[in-house]
Structure 1
Amino acid sequence: MSNANERIDALVKGNDVVLFMKGTALFPQCGFSSRAIAILEHLGTPYETVDVLQDQEIRQGIKEYSDWPTIPQLYVKGEFVGGSDIMMEMFESGELKTMVSADA
């Protein structure tokens, strides 16, 4: 499982904004992933996605990496943000826009 952990770590640290999700940005495979993509699209920030349905090691490994049981999971500048409910709350408050656009 350490190989998956290393791959996840490289994805999280190698992208300013990365969403681990079910499906792809064009074809989300669950409502929560769809909502997460809609939020990111509305913010207009560049982001990467990882389809956990394509890799069982990543699907399980991301839950252990973040100690968070559900998918999708958003990371901004190497930091775990949360799932779609947390993303929605932060989007509505303006905090997520500040987070993704802040120069760090």
Structure 2
Amino acid sequence: MSNTTEERISEIVNGNDVVLFMKGTPLFPQCGFSSKAVAILEHLGVEYATVDVLQDMEIRQGIKSFSDWPTIPQLYVKGEFVGGSDIMMEMFQAGELQQVMDDAGVKAA
């Protein structure tokens, strides 16, 4: 992974309170897991940014090394890696994801 890719990912992760690396876009998710992740964030009503990894192969590969997590989507809150869609769903159902957003002071959409 080139330094520039890691730097780009770092800038995205640290430049947004909530960012979802996903396949596709919120309006047109390209996989069920990305669709589920977007639905959870929409339900929480928080402001979030997305990165379509299908549009950028360097980011698609780089994010897996960056987080040491093999799959996409990946959610970051205030620069911290939270997890993929299964972890998001478990945390959401337990009320933990809302708590993470509240604790991080994430703005409502």
Provide TM-score, normalisation by structure 2: 0.93
> What is the root-mean-square deviation of aligned Cα atoms in Å?
0.8
Query: Which ranges in structure 2 are unaligned for 5 or more consecutive residues?
Result: none
Aligned to 2:101: 100
> Does residue 91 of structure 2 align to residue 90 of structure 1?
yes
- The separation in 1 between residues aligned to 2:102 and 2:79, in whole angstroms, is 14
Aligned to 2:10: 9
Rate the CA distance shift 1:80–1:103 in 2: closer, same or farther, 3 A.
closer
Residue type of the partner of 1:23?
G
Shift of 1:103: 4.3
**Percent identity between the two aligned chains:** 73
Residue-by-residue CA offset, 1:15-66 (whole Å, 9 max, x unaligned): 1100000000110000000000000000000000000000000000000000
- The separation in 2 between residues aligned to 1:60 and 1:70, in whole angstroms, is 10
Aligned to 2:23: 22
| Number of residue pairs the alignment of both structures matches | 104
Residue type of the partner of 2:84?
G
Residue type of the partner of 1:85?
D
| Kept after mapping to 2: 8 A contact 1:45/1:101 | no
Aligned to 1:67: 68
Residue-by-residue CA offset, 1:64-91 (whole Å, 9 max, x unaligned): 0000000000000110000000000000
Aligned to 1:80: 81
Provide TM-score, normalisation by structure 1: 0.97
- The separation in 2 between residues aligned to 1:90 and 1:30, in whole angstroms, is 20
SS in 1 for 2:29: coil
SS in 2 for 1:102: helix
- The separation in 2 between residues aligned to 1:2 and 1:57, in whole angstroms, is 11
